[in-house]
Structure 1
Amino acid sequence: MFEKAQRLLESHFGYSSFRNGQERAIQSVLAGENTICVMPTGGGKSICFQIPALVLPGTTIVISPLISLMKDQVDALVQVGIPATFINSSLSYHEANERIREAKQGMYKLLYIAPERLESHEFIEDLKQMDIPLVAVDEAHCISQWGHDFRPSYRHIQQMVYSLPQKPNVLALTATATPRVREDICETLDIDEENSIITGFERENLSFAVIKGQDRLHFLRDYIKKNEKEAGIIYAATRKNVDQLYERLKKENINVARYHAGMGDAERIREQDRFLKDEASVMVATSAFGMGIDKSNIRYVLHFQLPKNMESYYQEAGRAGRDGLESECILLYSSQDVQVQRFLIDQSSDRTRIHAELEKLQQMVDYCHTENCLQEFILKYFGEIETESCGRCGNCLDSRTSIDVTKEAQMVMSCMIRMGQRFGKTLTAQVLTGSRNKKVTEMGFDKLTTYGIMKEKGSKEVSDFIEFLISQELIAIEQGQFPTLFVASKGKDILLGKEKVHRRETVKVREISKDDPLFETLREVRRSIAERENVPPFVIFSDAALKDMCAKLPRTSEDFLGVSGVGELKLKKYGLEFIQAIRQFCEAHPERQPEMGQAAAPKKTSKKAVGDSHLETLQLHQQNLSIEQIAEKRELALSTVENHLLQCAQQGMEVDFSKLIPTEYIPMLQKAVEEAGRSRLKPIKDLLPEEVSYFMVKSYLYFLSKNK
């Protein structure tokens, strides 16, 4: 059956091989096992049930809370010749009944439904008359009360599965689930732990950054104008914020749309369609927008305010770069946002969850103040133990000198101890800066030896510094109605002078991509076809597919089939128009040649700052400088140099892997890869000596793929 699955992947979707985790998930489903699949957004979760749906007899049920995703996925499936439909509240009673009748007759391979349908006894009876081999549960974290988006209707899924005569298998899929949430999903849906497929949460094409201490409106305007040809989402905390930003950006002549729950249905749909069809390049929205928006070419996601937890943030940020091309996720931080989120949490009707929600909020604040790798911070939050710096986030790319702030850290912690470790950040900062606040003097804190020892700084600056110390786990918080600070065990080593504390300045972000006139030409061809067929442009081809065309310059039907994301049906429907456009472009630009060594995988775009930088690293590598010498010469971290070389290899440039891997490690790597396979790095690394780094493992895998 799996051989058939591989053939279907190529004929319908245009891919020659499965991504990491997809193969194991599909094999588990086809073997009749209940399975949970945790993949990052853009990791290809939908393939894990769409391919089995084609292999298995009958109709696969897909449960999704996302009405917009249903329509987009059904449109995309129909485009590649797969019979699929959806039933949700957007349909009239007559339309829904007609689709149910057709599903009973076996006319569809996939039927998407909203979870609320499972509360209808009549609908369950309809399902009993269908041949259902598989139930796919998308956004499965909604099943857990410990998740960030719990939906009670999801609790009806298992009861529905048990009621069906065929007893179908269950496949649960999610991108944002902590270990506790995963455990809850497995228990609720009767999934054995051994059938958990977790590919990791890392999105290698996303660059994260946190911007503090800048005028947010100015930053937003400048960033959008710098990347005016790219699609992006701006998330704001409230409807009022969305409306204000929308009006402000319109005045700047920016082609912007907006979306929030306070708008009428017709207006929301119209604005969403403008964004999906590339008629508006920027969408300003509350968190109500984006769940299930299958627009693959979003190049950046900016959060204008702090989200309430890491799950929400990573899910929203993860809407960038679903096509695999480099994209940015930027959070604009202000301490005022923390107070707004605390207030909203305190207003919650579920008092039992307040403490847990405050802890989640503190994790977001820690994220904004950490000096360590931002991607690594996120991965650890989701339970990954073996992590390493990404080499591409705002913190990793900041090569400026760190400042020794040990003395200032000792001042803060000494003051906390003298105050009895019973007070919060604001009062502690006031004492340190010598405030004459009534509470400070009434409690006698103006008599402490630490009173005013940081008076050269402002209270806000000291408060931000305390947040930094919390993010470094030197200071801890006792949550409650009035959170209090105490010195953590790591902080005691700082007080005793056993360890030092260093801090850096905030980094600047950069432009996303260089212009390519051929890419713009192909984008216009895609837009024209999309308008003709009345579908969003990304349904025709993703940005990644267009980039691959730019790299490979296919001028025959056979060459066009070699483009990532092109199957036989899309070749037949759209190939001629794109091939003609490429031929005309190449005739006008004879100097343009196909990139040698270009792989079928999506080619990453280059950023102006990072793009030039990795080419400079490659040049030094080709001059026989070692990684250590390049790092010293360019004043970069070793991990940054390593990531530059891997990026060059991914883009088909000439990297000499023999210089990167000591000869004596080659047999060990060969044996480890043969034993563990190529799908995940950690199982390979576990079989190797400590001195064989993750970078060497990645380099060896690139070497294998190049010489395959």
Structure 2
Amino acid sequence: MNKNQILKQYFGYDSFREGQETLIDSILSGRDAFGIMPTGSGKSLCFQIPALMMEGITLVISPLIALMKDQVAALNQAGVFAAFLNSSLTASQYHKALSFAKEGKYPIIYVAPERLMTEEFQDFARHARIAMVAVDEAHCVSQWGQDFRPSYLKIVDFINQLPVRPVVSAFTATATKEVREDIIDILMLREPEVVTTGYDRPNLYLGVQAPKDKYAAVKNFIDTHPNQSGIIYCQTRKLVEEVCDRLGRDGISVTRYHAGLSDKERHQNQDDFIFDRYQVMVATNAFGMGIDKSNVRFVLHYNMPKSIEELYQEIGRTSRDQEPGECILFYSGQDVVMNQFFIDNNQDNQELDDLTRKVVTERDRERLKKMTYYCFTNECLRDYILRYFGEYGSNYCGNCVNCLTQFETVDVTEIAKALIGCVSSSRQRYGVNVIIDTVHGANTAKIRQYRMDTNPYYSVLAKTPSYKLRQVVNHLMLKEYLTVTNDEYSIVKLTADSEKLMESQEPVMMKMAKEQEPALREKTGKKSKKPKLAGVELTEQDEALFEKLRRLRAEIAKEEKVPPYIVFSDKTLVHMCAVKPKTKTEMLTVSGVGEFKYDKYGERFMQCMDSDLSI
């Protein structure tokens, strides 16, 4: 079979997405390849399809057990023999899988990087025909990447010990220019075909809120998005427990995930979420990498992540089937302090020398600063993320809170100069709150203790609301007229541009929301029109049919012991509702239905639709 026939027969698609065919052709020609493609864009097909056409075995290096299990289950459901080799297998299971691999039963084998250098696996690899080594989540190889894993550095040693060098391919969704160069150098890719399809996920709504009561905001969001699957990320295990317990008491179908749970409970909770037994997962950032659940419709950040890379990875778990999804970050100043603490007490880089560890820490602090600016900016949030990764758009996406909020351009020169003057006259010794309280004229114990009530700028902006003063401070930091120190006290400091602003006759202009509340138009607090699925606005009758098909899918998933989305995605079920196929030919026109899956499930789904239509 050729690549198009494989795409249709095993995966049920009629055409390739952007970048896929270029990478597949490169690999089939024997050339190394490097794909930087957003989550949900079909990266895995770029190495799975060549693997089914090449003579020999494709080894897929994967960082997490969950990712391997998910992808192998999906391949087996599609009719492709595949296996994984990792620590989740018992000794007998591992030896049995390795025995089948030696017999050539599997064209695709997923393996953890830690397994590569074991004597048993190396013996297998030396005597097998390895056609390709595909490195998934390739950013893990770079110490400048957000998920650096020292075990990934062993990949090149493993490849160099093979009798014949295979094609090497690498794939990631997140890589700045520096990380891309690092990946190519460390993996020693030979003149690779590099394809970057962009970082944009236009189906995702992006928002930032600064609510006084985070829990109430989260609960309100879930209440207005009934029956939707979603993830809530919290900064600490303690917060995960608190939020999960409160949601459970409030009647939400919820479970939890963090490193403090036993392996058994973590695996059980993860399965409960993946198999749709629970609607909402509350978790630390230990959860999610490799989770391919396609019907996650929202990701809420209870706290601000440490970096744009982390934010992008986590929101990437939303609507992997390209349907509409929502990603809301609930910000507070305490998030910055807590993240700074995590960076300063990071234990993940102990294998690095002192100088490199210091450089990595400074890099993490700079990333935290860029992440904080994301929460401040009144510009397009999507454009902010894209520019971070080196892409430039129109600064208007029409699907983020800032693009959907009415702004006006305001002259804030007087406020800006008073704030900078206060920082200067207090000899750059205090944090943001003290500066704002001083110019606002607050009569607090701290202001009196620091004698800021005698500062020449005390009370000069008494009539300006505190929230507006904070907005201007954030704007000055965003434009680098002010900065804050990277320590637990976060002291406000002047920059090289501070004096230029004070001496300039040019006005300082900034965008401000017309609403009185500065954080966010309450998009998430109202029930909106049901979004289209797969570009189709379902009728009430079709919605009932969709739910009926979902129940059948759940029944089959239970029989097969796989997550429901591995049987068919929501998108495929919606297409069925639109097409209402009555024959095999019609059923094979549905996106996501290939020959193998038709043979397994097609008749049952057509009978389900037929019985519904005959009522």
**Shared fold (TM-score, shorter chain, > 0.5):** yes
Quick one: distance in 2 between partners of 1:554 and 1:474? Answer: 62
Cα displacement (A) at 1:408: 2.6
Aligned positions of 1:347-426 closer than 5 A = 347-349=345-347, 350-386=357-393, 388-399=395-406, 401=408, 405-420=412-427, 424-426=431-433
How big is the shift at 1:148? 0.9
1:548 is matched by which residue type in structure 2? H
Q: 279, 304, 307: which one pairs with 1:306?
A: 304
Q: CA deviation at 1:289?
A: 1.1
In the TM superposition, what is the alpha-carbon distance from 1:479 to its structure 2 partner? Answer: 4.4
Are residues 465 and 521 of structure 1, via their aligned partners in 2, closer, same or farther at CA, if it must alter by over 3 Å?
Answer: farther
Q: Structure 2 CA distance, aligned partners of 1:183 and 1:52?
A: 25
1:258-287 Cα deviation digits (max 9, x unpaired): 111111122222211111111111111111
Residues of 2 paired with 1:538 and 1:67: CA distance? 18
Structure 1 gaps of 5+ residues are: 589-708
Partner of 1:596: none
Are 2:482 and 2:492, in contact at CA under 8 Å, matched by a contact in 1? no
Q: List gaps (5 residues or longer) in structure 2.
A: 348-356, 532-539
Shift of 1:583: 2.9
Bigger mean CA deviation after superposition, 456-465 or 535-544: 456-465
Cross-structure match for 2:522: 508
What letter is aligned with 2:512?
R
* Distance in 2 separating the partners of 1:322 and 1:539: 13
Give 2:113's match in structure 1, choosing from 112, 115, 126: 115
Match of 1:496 among 505, 518, 527: 505
Conservation of the 8 A alpha-carbon contact between 2:304 and 2:336: yes
Determine if the alignment matches structure 1 residue 79 to structure 2 residue 113.
Answer: no
The alpha-carbon deviation at position 573 of structure 1 amounts to 1.2
Tell me how far 1:423 sits from its aligned partner: 5.0
Displacement of 1:177 in angstroms is 1.0
Question: When you count helix as a share of all residues, which structure comes out higher?
Answer: 1
Q: Does 1:176 align with 2:203?
A: no
Distance in 2, matches of 1:33 and 1:211, equals 46
Matched position secondary structure for 1:119: coil
Q: Distance in 2 between matches of 1:428 and 1:491?
A: 18
Deviations 1:131-154 (A, max 9, x none): 111001011111001111111000
| Distance of 1:490 and 1:37 partners within structure 2 | 42
Aligned to 1:40: 38
Identify the match of residue 607 of structure 2 among 580, 591, 602. 580
1:346 Cα shift?
1.8
2:7–2:14 contact (8 Å) kept in structure 1? yes
Letter matched to residue 289 of structure 1: F
Matching residue of 2:536: none
Kindly report which structure 2 residues correspond to 1:193-212, keeping only aligned pairs within 5 A, or say none: 195-212=193-210
Q: Paired residue for 1:433, among 426, 436, 440?
A: 440
CA contact (8 A) 2:134 2:168 kept: yes
User: Do the aligned partners of 1:478 and 1:486 also contact (CA within 8 Å) in 2?
Assistant: no
**What is the distance in 2 between the residues matched to 1:75 and 1:466?**
51
- Cα 1:491–1:573 shift into 2, 3 Å: farther
Alpha-carbon separation, structure 2, partners of 1:86 and 1:565: 24
Measure how far apart 1:72 and its partner are: 1.0
Task: Normalising by structure 1, report the TM-score.
Answer: 0.78
Cα shift at 1:200: 0.6
Residue type matched to 1:272 in 2? Q
Aligned-partner Cα distance in 1 for 2:190–2:212: 49
How far is 1:553 from its partner?
Answer: 2.6
Out of 446, 457, 464, the position equivalent to 1:450 is 457
How much does 1:552 deviate?
Answer: 2.5
1:431–1:445 Cα contact (<8 Å) kept? yes
Q: CA deviation digits over 1:588-636, x for unaligned, max 9? A: 5xxxxxxxxxxxxxxxxxxxxxxxxxxxxxxxxxxxxxxxxxxxxxxxx
Match of 1:554 among 576, 581, 587: 581
Distance 1:409 1:550, change over 3 A: farther
Q: How far apart are 1:225 and its partner, in Å?
A: 1.7
In structure 2, relative to structure 1, the CA distance for the partners of 1:478 and 1:518 (3 Å cut) is same
Please give the secondary structure, in 2, of the residue aligned with 1:23: helix
1:135 aligned residue: 133
Secondary structure at 2:46 match in 1 = helix
Deviation, structure 1 residue 35: 1.7
Q: In 2, Cα distance between the equivalents of 1:435 and 1:388? A: 38
Per the alignment, do residues 517 and 438 of structure 1 end up closer, same or farther by CA in structure 2, a change over 3 Å counting?
A: same
Report the alpha carbon displacement of residue 119 of structure 1 after superposing the two structures with TM.
Answer: 3.4
**Which shifted more, 395-404 or 302-311?**
395-404
2:477 is aligned to 470
Match of 1:157 in 2: 155
Which amino acid letter does the alignment assign opposite residue 494 of structure 2? F
1:675-690 alignment runs, 5 A limit: none
Q: CA deviation at 1:576?
A: 1.6
- CA distance 1:498–1:171, change in 2 (3 Å): same
Greater relative contact order (Cα < 8 A, sep 6+): 2
Alpha-carbon distance change, 460 to 389 in structure 1, aligned in 2, over 3 angstroms:
closer
Q: Bigger CA drift: 6-15 or 266-275?
A: 266-275
What is the distance in 2 between the residues matched to 1:491 and 1:555?
A: 74
2-side partners of 1:284 and 1:115: how far apart?
28
SS at match of 1:55: coil
Q: Report Cα offsets for 1:212-247 as digits up to 9, x if no partner.
A: 134211111111122121110111111111111111
Q: Secondary structure at the match of 1:583?
A: helix
Q: Look up the SS of the partner of 2:238 in the other structure.
A: helix
Give, as a single letter, the amino acid of the residue that structure 2 aligns with 1:501: M
Q: 1:287 is matched with which residue?
A: 285
Q: How far, CA to CA, are the matches of 1:571 and 1:118 in structure 2? A: 37
State the TM-score, normalizing by the size of structure 2. 0.90
Bigger shift: residues 314-323 or 251-260:
251-260
Distance (whole Å) between structure 2 residues aligned to residue 527 and residue 221 of structure 1: 27
User: How many residues end up aligned between the 2 structures?
Assistant: 586
Post-superposition shift, 1:437? 6.6
The Cα offsets for residues 378-402 of structure 1, whole Å up to 9 and x where unpaired, read as: 1111121355421111111113656
| Shift in Å, 1:492 | 4.7
Q: Distance in 1 between matches of 2:580 and 2:50?
A: 33
Paired AA for residue 485 in structure 1: K
Q: Is the 8 A contact 1:473 1:491 kept in 2?
A: no
CA contact (8 A) 1:406 1:502 kept: no
Q: Give the conservation status (yes or no) of the 8 Å contact 1:394–1:508.
A: no
**Counterparts of 1:415 and 1:14 in 2: how far apart (Å)?**
64
SS in 1 for 2:326: strand
RMSD: 2.4
SS of equivalent to 1:501: strand
Identity %: 42
Q: Distance in 1 between matches of 2:587 and 2:465?
A: 62
Q: Give 1:486's aligned amino acid.
A: L
Question: CA, structure 1 residues 75+142, in 2 after alignment: closer, same or farther (shift >3 Å)?
Answer: same
